[in-house]
Structure 1
Amino acid sequence: MTGTVVFDLDGTLADTSADLIAAANACFRARDLGDLLHPQDDALIAFHGGRAMLRAGYGRMPSDRLLPPGAEDEDFDCLLDHYGQNIMAHTKLYPGVENALKQLADDGHILAVCTNKPEALAESLLRALNIRDAFASMIAADTLPHRKPDPRTYKTTVERAGGKVSRSFLVGDTETDRKTASAAGVKVALVSFGPEGTAIERLAPEALLHHFDDLPALARDWLA
């Protein structure tokens, strides 16, 4: 019997951190603040979303600088606009993604994406990466009135793909994914090749995924 494998996007299927940080830095430069985030050192912040990046940068501003009211909302729009125009400048799939997706499909599994990235950007990125057609459904931050870690988001992703929640699991990279899986009552495999490395084990996932080559076997085990 087949099952459904649900993927997070940023930090799980693709390393998008450099392009996300570049977008945040573009907004900081527009305020004459310079580049407040580092492409490598702040990669983990990038995977927590646009507002997390902006707030991290604001925390590094010179003490004599004050932001005007509504600055974060203005900068968030700026960030999304810049990112949308430069969505594939540095982004790459993690090694083994394409082969893993093909093998999972060949094994009869349904594939889906559940991300907190805005839907238009998620669609654009998946198509630019040439993997959109691999997924039966894709639920993003603004697809529904709620988002991860709300379990309804995950459950809707599985159901729209034509699968059953009881025969599914999540592949992700952050605490949000850990909480989503727990709330939905499913297992989660967290990748160990992101910014946290194997330290992600602190979140007690049911499995650590060290390379996408290992995913088809894990799916056979969990969904057998």
Structure 2
Amino acid sequence: MYPYPLVVFDLDGTLVDSGSDIAEALNRTLQDWQLPRVAEATVLTWIGDGVRRLVEQAFTAGGSRADLDVVMPGFMVHYRECLLRSPRLFDGVREALALLRGREVPLAICTNKPAALVQPLLEYLGIGQQFALVLGGDSLPQRKPSGEPLRHIAAQFGVATGDCLMVGDSLTDYRAAQDAGMPIALVRYGYPRGLDLDTADAVVVVDDLRALPGLRDGE
């Protein structure tokens, strides 16, 4: 029996390497407003708190106080256009998901990405059928780092949050798991943004999702 009755994954930075596409969408938006493009490495440090916060940080860094309610529709056009530009699954993701599903472990996604853009991305990458539930950043009034999305997901499956496993890469994921009382496994390859992986209170920190608890060495 697998040690966790439910595994909840973050999306961007955990399952999917989408940083360059998000950066391109953001930079096209900045160009629309005659602001300079931002290096992809910088954009990666802003990913995780939702698209509105992402755009806000970019405009603040560019010295602009543009009305986000005016800016966001244009950004969302670029975001949709860039969604399938060059995303890829991180190494080991496809195999890890297959192993978990082979053990009949329910899988869910908890992301701050707008819900309407999640399923098209999953389908494009060929993993759309792996998840029993997908929760986007606008699915509930709260989003990560609130623990409410994780509590909501656990309740949908009738399991206690403390029995589940969250898998993420960022400080936002970490804080959400802590708030929900859900154990978390962290990945080294994502967009950690100030999270000290060496001191974090995590079940495990992995370089490859195939090293998640219960999937390695016949555990």
Q: TM (normalized to structure 1)?
A: 0.85
Moved more, 204-213 or 191-200: 191-200
Deviation at 1:19, TM superposition (A): 0.8
Question: Which amino acid letter does the alignment assign opposite residue 165 of structure 1?
Answer: T
Structure 1 regions of 5+ residues with no counterpart? none
The corresponding residue for 1:43 is 44
Tell me if structure 1 keeps the 8 A contact 2:110–2:136.
yes
- Secondary structure of the equivalent of 1:217? coil
Does the residue aligned with 1:6 lie in a helix, a strand or coil? strand
Mapped partners of 2:6, 2:117: distance in 1: 23
Alignment of 1:1-224 (within 5 A): 1-2=1-2, 3-35=5-37, 37-61=38-62, 67-68=65-66, 70=67, 72-161=68-157, 163-196=159-192, 199-215=196-212, 217=214
Q: Which moved more, 1:142-151 or 1:156-165?
A: 156-165
Deviations 1:122-154 (A, max 9, x none): 122112211121001111112122222333311
C-alpha RMSD of the superposition? 2.6
Aligned length: 216
Q: Which runs of 5+ in 2 are unaligned?
A: none
| Bigger share in helix | 1
Shift in Å, 1:214: 0.5
Q: CA deviation at 1:67?
A: 4.3
The code of the aligned residue for 2:92 comes to G
Q: CA deviation at 1:204?
A: 3.1
The code of the aligned residue for 1:149 comes to: P
Post-superposition Cα deviations, 1:32-52, rounded to whole Å, max 9, x if no partner, equal 2231x1123431213333233
Query: Does the residue aligned with 1:134 lie in a helix, a strand or coil?
Result: coil
Q: Which moved more, 1:72-81 or 1:133-142?
A: 72-81
